[in-house]
Amino acid sequence: MNNPLGRSTSKPDQQAQNNNQKNNRAKEFEKQLQEEERMLAQSAGIINNSQQTNNQQQQSAYQQQQQLNQQPQSVFGSIGQMLDAPRKLFFRNNLPQQQPTQQGQRQTTDQVESDFIQINTVQIYQTRDIKSIGLEIVQPGEIALQEIRGQCFIPTQSFQGTIIATNYQILFLPDKFPKDFRKDYFHIPYTLLIKVEKTMDRKQNDANFIEISCKDGRGFKYKFLKEQNDDCNSIFNVINKNAFTLNKSTLFAFTFYKEQSQLENDFQGWKIYNIEKDFERMGINILQENSQIQNGLFKYVNNENGIICSTYYNRLIVPAKADLDCIQKTAKFRSKERIPILSYAFQVNGKVISMWRSSQCRTGIGQNRSTEDECYLKYMSYQTVDEQESQYEDKEIRLRIYDARPHINAFGQQVAGKGYENIMFYRKCSIDFLDIHNIHKVRDSQTKLLKAAFSENTQFLTQLEQSFWYDHIVAIIRGSARIAITMTKEKINVLVHCSDGWDRTAQLTALVSIMIDGYYRTIEGFMVLVQKEWINTGHQFCQRSAIGNKQNNDDSRSPIFLQFLDCVYQMQQLYPLSFEFNQKLLFDLAYHHLTSLFGTFLCDSFLEIQKQRIMEQTVSIWSWIIKQKDKYLNAFYKNPQSIDQDVIIPEQFSGKSITFWKEYFLYYSLESNDTYQIHPQCQSTYDNIQQMYKTLSKENHVLRQAQKDQEKLAILHQQKFNQLMQIIQETQNEEIIEKLQTIQLI
C-alpha cells in the first residue's frame, strides 16, 4: 500500500538488500567510466604521437590534418563496443592533453570540470581549401572549418549530403543537386542567421538536429546520427561563434579585405561621398566653418568626434545665422542631440527651397520650450539671405514640419519627456503627421510576409494582405510625395523627423531626393544618396540588421533599409525610363547589407566607422558595384533632359499602384523558381532583351557611322571622277574619248 507521505513501507531487510544492489550498480558504473577515461587518454596519446611523427616527417598541414581525422575513428569504434555509458565530448581535432601540476598528482574535481568546459568551448578548427570541395560560389579568403555528412530538411523535401562550415557561411552540398533550386539556395552567410538551435530526437534517441532560421525567410534542419554527436556539437559551436559574435573584427569582411584590398584601392568606394561636391552640384553655396563672410544662408559646422552629435557625420550644414550657443542648446532640446541639419536644397527664381532632418524635440507633458530651438527653426525657414519676417503675413506658413509618426504615437512620447513641436511657440510653422508605423510593426509585417512566401498554404494573397507590408510601403511613398509637392509646388521649406531621426526620417528624405533630383536616380547618385542619408547620418545598420547581436535579440532588429529599397523598386515600376540602374542593384543591396561581406553596413554611425577603422580594414560595397557597373545598367534609361521629366512625384500613389517585389521575396521560393531554366538559357527574357537592345543600339550606331563614311567616300570619288573627265575632255584626245564612249562613261 502506498504511503501518502512518500515514506518507504518495505521491511528493513528488504531495504538493506536494495541499498546493496544500488551500491553494486554504482561501483560497476564507476568502473565503466574509469575504463572509458583510460581508453580516451590512450587515444589522445596516440594522436599526440602521430602529431610528433608527422612533424618529424615535415608533411604538409593538410596531410597532417587528414591523418588526425582518420586515427581517432578506429578508437571511437572500439569505444562504441563498450556498455552504454555517458561520454565526454571528444573532438576529432583534439587539444593537447593537459598534464597535472605535479608529477603523479591527480587533478581535483574542480580542475577536471574546468578543463572539460574549456574543451567544449575553445576549439582548434580543421581548415581545408574550399575549392577542393567542389563549390561553385566561393568568396576570396573563404576556407572550410568543419565538414560532416548529414541530412538536410526543408519544408517540402530532404537531401543527403555534406554540411560544411566555412569562415563565412554555413552551407549544404547535396549528393545530387536538385535542378529546380537556385545554386545558392543552401548557402547561408553567418550574419544572415537569426536563430540556431540544437535538439535531439527524444522518441528514438538516435539522432541530433541543428535547426537554423534566416533573416530572408529560409529555414533548414540538419540531421546527424547518434554516433556523430561529437561532430554535431563541434559544427554547432562553429556556427554560434561566427553568427553571433560581439566582436566586429572577427566578421568575414576583414578577411575579405585581406584578399581584395586592391579592389578598394582601384575604385575608392569609401570616398564616394564628398559633402562639398554634393551641394556644389545642387548649386547651393555653403559658407566654410571659419569664413568671415556673413552673406549666406547656410554654413558648415565641425562635428569631429561627435562634439555636437555622436551619430551624425563629421561635418554638418546648419543655418548661417545660428551661432554656436544656439546650436548647442538646440542639440540639448533634441532627442539624441540630433539637431536639424540640411539634407537637400534647390534654387528657383532666386530663392532656395530646403529640406532639413532631425529627431523629435523634448517637449514632454509639461510642454517645455526652447527659445534657441524656436529661433533655429525660424532661421531654417529663410529662403533668401536678406529675408525679413515683415515681408510675409502673420498666418503665412514658411516652414512645414513633417512628423513621420502617427499622431497618437507622437503624443504618447510626451510621457517619456519627448514629443513634437507646439505650433503655438513656433511662428509661421505648421505640422503634419504621416502615420508611418515604428520598427516593431515593420518587423512583424516582414515576419508574416516571409512566412507566406515560404508557406505551402495556397492562401498567399490573403496572407500577403494580412502582413500589412505594403500598407507601410504606401504610407512611406505617399508621405514622401507630400513632402516633394510642398517643396516643388508650394515652394515651402520642410523639416522631416520621426522619433530619433534615423529610420523613417532616412526613408523619407532619401525618397524625396529621388523624386526631385534626377542625379540620385543614376548609379553614382544612388550610391551617394545611400552613403549620405543612411550611413553617414546614423542609421543603425548593425542593430537593425542584428549583426553582432546575441541570438534571439530582436528588440532593435527591423528591415527599415529593405523597406526603403522596396519603395525605390515601386518607383522604378512607375517610371521605368527615369532610373539608370535596374532592380539588380536593389537586390544586391538588400542581400549584402545583411551578409557582412563588406564593411559599409557594419556600424551604427560614421563615428563608429572611424573609431573601429572600418574604412582601413574592409572593402566598401560601392567599390564592388562600380567594378561591375554594366550589370546594373537599365538599357531603357533616358536622361531626364531628353524626356523633360526631371521631377517624378507619384501624387496619386495607392495600393493599386503596388507591384509585388517577387524577384526578392520569392527568390528562393520553389513555386516561383524557373523549372525549365528559361531565365539563363532563353534570349527573350526581360534582362536579356535589355542587353540585346543595348548591343543593337551600339551596332546600329556603328552601322550609321559606317554608312555616313561610305556616303562621304562616294561623294569624294564622284568629285575626283568628274575632275578626271573634265581633264580628258580638255585634252581633246580623240582615241581616249572614243574608248570612254565605248564603255559608256561619256
How far is it, in rounded angstroms, from Cα 484 to Cα 565?
Answer: 18
Q: Is 498 annotated as a binding residue?
A: yes
How far is it, in rounded angstroms, from Cα 138 to Cα 594?
Answer: 17
Quote the Cα angle for 121-124-128, to 5°: 135
Q: Is 549 annotated as a binding residue?
A: no
Contacts for 625 with CB less than 8 Å, ≥ 6 apart: 269, 523, 527, 585, 588, 632
C-alpha cell at 539: 542609421
Tally the residues of the chain: 746
C-alpha cell at 543: 542593430
| Catalytic residue selected from 498, 542, 567, 603 | 498
How far is it, in rounded angstroms, from Cα 499 to Cα 122?
Answer: 43
C-alpha cell at 351: 530663392
Neighbours of 685 (CB within 10 A): 15
Neighbours of 639 (CB within 10 A): 12
Identify the CA nearest to 153 among candidates 106, 207, 100: 207
DSSP E strand boundaries for 399-492: 399-403, 429-433
Instruction: Report yes or no: 508 and 496 within 8 Å, Cβ to Cβ.
Output: yes
Q: Is 700 annotated as a binding residue?
A: no
CA-based radius of gyration for the chain:
35
Q: Is 354 helix (H, G, I), strand (E, B) or coil?
A: strand
Quote the Cα angle for 355-445-539, to 5°: 35
C-alpha cell at 26: 554504482
Instruction: Report yes or no: 327 and 344 within 8 Å, Cβ to Cβ.
Output: no
Instruction: Report yes or no: 401 and 430 within 8 Å, Cβ to Cβ.
Output: yes
CA-CA distances (angstroms) from residue 438 to 340, 404, 545, 558?
21, 9, 15, 9
| Inter-residue long-range contacts of 658-662, CB under 8 Å, 24+ positions, other chains counted | 658/470, 658/473, 658/474, 658/570, 659/569, 659/570, 659/573, 660/464, 660/470, 661/566, 661/569, 661/583
Instruction: Report yes or no: 455 and 466 within 8 Å, Cβ to Cβ.
Output: no
To which residue does cell 542619408 refer?
Answer: 533
Quote the Cα angle for 291-297-303, to 5°: 60
Q: Is 499 annotated as a binding residue?
A: yes
Identify the CA nearest to 42 among candidates 76, 69, 85, 66: 76
How far is it, in rounded angstroms, from Cα 586 to Cα 590?
Answer: 6
Identify the CA nearest to 569 among candidates 657, 497, 643: 657
Rounded to the nearest 10°, the torsion over CA 254, 260, 262, 268 is: -60
Distance spanning both ends of the chain, measured CA to CA: 139
Quote the Cα angle for 316-322-324, to 5°: 75
C-alpha cell at 592: 549584402
Q: Is 501 annotated as a binding residue?
A: yes
Instruction: Report yes or no: 515 and 480 within 8 Å, Cβ to Cβ.
Output: yes
Q: Is 503 annotated as a binding residue?
A: yes
Instruction: Report yes or no: 230 and 90 within 8 Å, Cβ to Cβ.
Output: yes
Quote the Cα angle for 250-253-259, to 5°: 110
CA-CA distances (angstroms) from residue 77 to 206, 207, 232, 558?
17, 18, 17, 49
Active site annotation includes 309: no
Identify the CA nearest to 379 among candidates 406, 395, 399: 399
Q: Is 504 annotated as a binding residue?
A: yes
Binding annotation for substrate: 438-439, 498-504
Residues marked active site are found at 498
